[in-house]
């Protein structure tokens, strides 16, 4: 008795409180439903041709009932059908009448179908297709019915109301396997297979059996299905955590980057941003981030600093090849400063100069000397000048090219030791006040500073590094190589690199730029200019529909590509998020009228710089 009562109690949870039956609708509890039977089908279909029904924005139940026909019965029915069609054709010909094109097409299809069945290439099935639309009121039901019938008409489907059989139509669409309508058509194997929606406009869930909330970041809503688009760059199965965002000016690129950044902060991910236009200042202030204003007074990053860091127990460690790695990095720095790759003689002179520069302050291959104060660019310039005076022409040429960065107009970034080494959950490096001639080197030094912390083996947590307007760095060969190495190595340190740019030609116009894109498991394309769409199409292997979508996309609309999965989405933000991430001048002026703020300068916080390596040296023990 107890078992029976438990069963009844469980089944009552699926039973509506009331059921009212009308001629063309039902009232099921508090809902109004109407059912349809599909009586007419298109002559030719493509795979997934029923997908528009599944992506209908309202609540729609689609039920497909399939009953196989045994081969003997199928052959008999096809024979009778062919005999009937041939008899009609001959009767028409004997009386000199014009042939009916519908009869001619049906005869050809019947012959082709019977041949496939006879050869065992397919079978016949009886298929019933039924639809039930839901609404909250009678008026809204009428609107939903009109919209559904229009959608069916666009698919060449003839949808008929189950008049006076509304209850049977509703039951036929319930997951009970009951077909109480019995309005079926004959399908062959290929037509039936094409009816099943094996493709979906939504991204697949990492675990389809899980009932947990989607992980990752909300990017917006799906343009095709109106569902939500969640994506987790740090999820299991991802080859790397990198992302590339390409879009023309005004397409919403920075808006999307800031929105993703803010939502990743909710998840506890540490983020560093290279900001060329001061677009992240309000966001950093709102979330308590650190704002570093390169180009400001007494804000310097010394490229000669060795990667020495202090562990939690107070010991200082460094990679075994820290001095060699720093010397190689300085070759990259000098190449960006002089605007080209040094030739063989200049590289040799530079290598000797770098070694002499470190030795001049007592830093040698002995790890015990690595904690001493680092030299600065002026020291290297003076050593190269002395070598040039001694007859080394290449050293003299390099010294002359470095003059403006030591004593000239661009010395503020290098005129002394490092003054700011920030930390925090969000660190923004602003490059707006740097001269154009220093933006590339400023970006490079900023990335080096960020990479030291990211690759610190003593700190293990997910991180993101955002490089906005990456074309500033990609236009230099040395800078592009550094960004490429960072994209390749970030996965090993539980970090992801986000590269965002509006100058697609600079990124895709070089092999290194294409390699950076290829090493991004997440790729987002926003609206593209017609001049760049051909290169985008070739690089990302876009279909004609995707190409047209990117040419006509509205602001904030884009195509998210993750491996073999692609989804078109529209980014969305709450009013508070919109206030923090918008860069619309009109909106910012309006906000300024209603907001009174104090001094907008952001504080600087000091922290030691680090660089990664698997083998560390305990400098105190050394």
CA 531 to CA 527: how far, in whole Å?
Answer: 12
Residue range of the domain that includes 602 = 239-320+408-617
Q: What's the whole-number mean pLDDT along residues 535-557?
A: 88
Q: Which residues neighbour 447 within 8 Å (Cβ) at sequence distance 6 or greater?
A: 274, 465, 467, 473, 482, 483, 486
Alpha carbon separation from 514 to 238, 465, 483, 498, 540 (Å, rounded): 20, 19, 12, 14, 10
Determine, yes or no, domain membership for 45.
yes
Q: What's the whole-number mean pLDDT along residues 63-87?
A: 79
Is it the case that residue 1 has pLDDT exceeding 60? no
Nearest CA to 289 among 420, 458, 429, 459? Answer: 429
Determine, yes or no, domain membership for 585.
yes
Give the per-residue pLDDT at 432: 85
Same domain, 27 and 135: yes
Show the CA angle centred on residue 442, arms to residues 586 and 407, nearest 5°.
Answer: 120
Q: Which residues neighbour 114 within 8 Å (Cβ) at sequence distance 6 or greater?
A: 75, 78, 79, 82
Determine, yes or no, domain membership for 528.
yes
Alpha carbon separation from 282 to 1, 526, 532 (Å, rounded): 67, 24, 32
Alpha carbon separation from 154 to 49, 148, 158, 200, 229 (Å, rounded): 11, 10, 10, 19, 27
Same domain, 453 and 555: yes
478 confidence band (pLDDT: 50, 70, 90): low
Nearest CA to 320 among 612, 621, 614, 616? Answer: 616
158 confidence band (pLDDT: 50, 70, 90): very high
Alpha carbon separation from 29 to 14, 18, 277 (Å, rounded): 11, 5, 57
Task: Tell me the pTM.
Answer: 0.65
Alpha carbon separation from 153 to 59, 312, 448, 555 (Å, rounded): 18, 69, 60, 31
Same domain, 190 and 85: yes
CA 584 to CA 503: how far, in whole Å?
Answer: 20
What is residue 131's three-state secondary structure? strand
Same domain, 169 and 21: yes
Q: What's the whole-number mean pLDDT along residues 226-251?
A: 84
Same domain, 129 and 253: no
Give the per-residue pLDDT at 604: 31
Same domain, 58 and 180: yes
8 confidence band (pLDDT: 50, 70, 90): very low
Residues found in the chain: 622
Give the per-residue pLDDT at 601: 44
Give the per-residue pLDDT at 9: 44
Question: 10 Å Cβ neighbour count for 356?
Answer: 16
CA 373 to CA 166: how far, in whole Å?
Answer: 85
State how far Cα 348 lies from the chain centre: 43
How confident is the model over 438-450, as pLDDT tens digits? 888 888 888 888 8
Give the per-residue pLDDT at 610: 31
Same domain, 268 and 179: no
CA 115 to CA 212: how far, in whole Å?
Answer: 50
- Which of 195, 225, 257 lies at the terminal end of a domain, its last residue? 195
Give the per-residue pLDDT at 600: 43
Task: State the sign of the Cα–Cα–Cα–Cα dihedral 580, 584, 587, 590.
Answer: positive
494 confidence band (pLDDT: 50, 70, 90): confident
How confident is the model over 567-616, as pLDDT tens digits? 889 998 988 899 888 888 888 788 777 665 444 443 332 322 233 344 66
Domain count, the chain: 2
Alpha carbon separation from 615 to 110, 368, 410, 451, 461 (Å, rounded): 74, 16, 37, 17, 20
Determine, yes or no, domain membership for 391.
no
Out of 286-300, 332-346, 500-514, 602-616, least confident range: 602-616
Alpha carbon separation from 403 to 225, 357, 393 (Å, rounded): 60, 16, 16
Nearest CA to 170 among 181, 186, 159? Answer: 181
Give the per-residue pLDDT at 383: 92
Q: What's the whole-number mean pLDDT along residues 4-32?
A: 71
- Which of 159, 178, 195 lies at the terminal end of a domain, its last residue? 195
Give the per-residue pLDDT at 162: 93
Same domain, 272 and 176: no
Determine, yes or no, domain membership for 577.
yes
Q: What's the whole-number mean pLDDT along residues 12-21?
A: 74
Q: Which residues neighbour 551 within 8 Å (Cβ) at sequence distance 6 or greater?
A: 527, 528, 530, 533
Question: 10 Å Cβ neighbour count for 470?
Answer: 29
Give the per-residue pLDDT at 161: 93
DSSP string, 246-309: E--TTSSHHHHHHHHHHHHHHTT-EEEEEESSS-SHHHHHHTT-EEEETTSTT----TT----E
How confident is the model over 184-210, as pLDDT tens digits? 888 888 788 888 766 556 665 555 555
Highest mean pLDDT among 131-145, 415-429, 591-605: 131-145
- Which of 163, 195, 227 lies at the terminal end of a domain, its last residue? 195
Same domain, 190 and 274: no
CA 236 to CA 228: how far, in whole Å?
Answer: 20
Q: What's the whole-number mean pLDDT along residues 306-320?
A: 69
Same domain, 153 and 259: no
Out of 20-24, 416-420, 578-582, least confident range: 416-420
Exposed/middle/buried for residue 55 (C-beta within 10 Å: 0-12, 13-18, 19+): middle
Question: 10 Å Cβ neighbour count for 370?
Answer: 22
Give the per-residue pLDDT at 146: 93
Give the per-residue pLDDT at 391: 87
More confident residue, 214 or 134: 134
Same domain, 117 and 187: yes
Q: What's the whole-number mean pLDDT along residues 344-371?
A: 90
Is it the case that residue 25 has pLDDT exceeding 80? yes
Is it the case that residue 306 has pLDDT exceeding 80? yes
Q: b or e along 285-303 (b: 16 or more beta carbons within 10 Å of the residue's beta carbon)?
A: eebebbbbbbbbeebbbbb
Same domain, 191 and 250: no
H or E, element range at 60: strand 60-69
CA 418 to CA 609: how far, in whole Å?
Answer: 10
The CATH number that applies at residue 459 is 3.40.50.300
Q: What's the whole-number mean pLDDT along residues 51-57?
A: 81
Is it the case that residue 471 has pLDDT exceeding 50? yes
Determine, yes or no, domain membership for 143.
yes
Determine, yes or no, domain membership for 402.
no
CA 564 to CA 434: how far, in whole Å?
Answer: 41
Q: Please, which residues bridge with residue 468 across strands?
A: 500
More confident residue, 250 or 95: 250
Determine, yes or no, domain membership for 384.
no
Nearest CA to 483 among 336, 283, 361? Answer: 336
Give the per-residue pLDDT at 199: 56
Give the per-residue pLDDT at 124: 83
């Amino acid at each position: 008795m107890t078992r029976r009562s438990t069963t009844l109690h469980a089944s009552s949870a699926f039973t509506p409180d009331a059921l009212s039956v009308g001629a063309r609708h039902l009232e099921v509890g508090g809902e109004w439903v109407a059912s349809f039977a599909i009586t007419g089908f298109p002559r030719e279909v493509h795979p997934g041709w029923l997908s528009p029904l599944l992506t209908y924005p309202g609540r729609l139940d689609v039920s497909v009932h399939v009953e196989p026909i045994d081969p003997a019965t199928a052959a008999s029915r096809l024979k009778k059908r062919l005999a009937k069609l041939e008899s009609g054709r001959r009767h028409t010909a004997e009386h000199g009448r014009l042939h009916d094109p519908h009869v001619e097409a049906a005869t050809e299809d019947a012959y082709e179908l019977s041949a496939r069945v006879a050869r065992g290439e397919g079978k016949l099935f009886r298929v019933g297709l039924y639809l039930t639309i839901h609404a909250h009121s009678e008026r809204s039901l009428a609107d939903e019915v009109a919209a559904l019938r229009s959608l069916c008409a666009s698919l060449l489907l003839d949808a008929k109301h189950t008049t006076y059989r509304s209850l049977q139509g509703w039951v036929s669409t319930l997951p009970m396997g009951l077909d109480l309508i019995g309005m079926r058509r004959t399908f062959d194997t290929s037509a039936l297979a094409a009816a099943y929606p094996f493709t979906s406009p939504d991204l697949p869930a990492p675990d389809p059996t899980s009932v947990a909330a989607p992980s990752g970041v909300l990017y917006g809503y799906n343009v095709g299905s109106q569902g939500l688009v969640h994506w987790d760059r740090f999820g299991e199965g991802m080859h790397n955590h990198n992302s590339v965002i390409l879009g023309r000016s005004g397409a919403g690129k920075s808006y999307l980057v800031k929105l993703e950044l803010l939502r990743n902060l909710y998840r506890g991910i540490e983020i560093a941003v290279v900001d060329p236009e001061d677009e992240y200042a309000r966001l950093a202030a709102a979330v308590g981030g650190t704002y570093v204003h390169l180009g400001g007074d007494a804000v310097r990053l010394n490229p000669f600093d060795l990667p020495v860091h202090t562990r939690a127990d107070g010991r200082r460690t460094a990679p075994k090849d820290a001095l060699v790695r720093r010397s190689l990095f300085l070759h990259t720095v000098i190449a960006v400063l002089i605007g080209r790759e040094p030739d063989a003689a200049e590289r040799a002179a530079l290598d000797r100069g770098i070694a002499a520069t470190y030795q001049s302050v007592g830093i040698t291959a002995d790890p015990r000397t690595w904690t001493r104060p680092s030299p600065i660019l002026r020291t290297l310039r003076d050593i190269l000048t002395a070598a040039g005076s001694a007859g080394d022409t290449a050293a003299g040429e390099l010294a002359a090219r470095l003059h403006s960065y030591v004593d000239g107009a661009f010395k503020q970034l290098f005129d002394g030791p490092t003054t700011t080494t920030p930390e925090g959950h969000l660190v923004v490096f602003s490059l707006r006040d740097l001269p154009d001639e220093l933006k590339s080197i400023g970006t490079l030094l900023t990335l080096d500073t960020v990479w030291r912390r990211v690759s610190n083996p003593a700190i293990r947590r997910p991180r993101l590094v955002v490089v906005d307007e990456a074309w500033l760095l990609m236009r230099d060969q040395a800078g592009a190589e550094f960004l490429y190495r960072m994209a390749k190595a970030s996965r090993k340190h539980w970090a992801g690199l986000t590269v965002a740019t509006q100058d697609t030609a600079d990124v895709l116009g070089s092999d290194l730029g294409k390699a950076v894109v290829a090493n991004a498991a997440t790729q987002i394309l926003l609206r593209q200019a017609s001049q760049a769409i051909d290169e985008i199409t070739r690089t990302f292997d876009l279909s004609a529909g995707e190409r047209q979508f990117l040419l006509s996309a509205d602001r904030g609309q884009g195509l998210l590509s993750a491996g073999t999965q692609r989804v078109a989405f529209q980014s969305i933000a709450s009013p508070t998020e919109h206030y923090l991430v918008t860069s619309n001048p009109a909106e910012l002026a309006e906000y300024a009228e209603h907001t009174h703020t104090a001094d907008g300068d952001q504080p600087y916080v000091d922290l030691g710089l680090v660089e990664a390596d698997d083998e560390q040296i305990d400098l105190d023990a050394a």
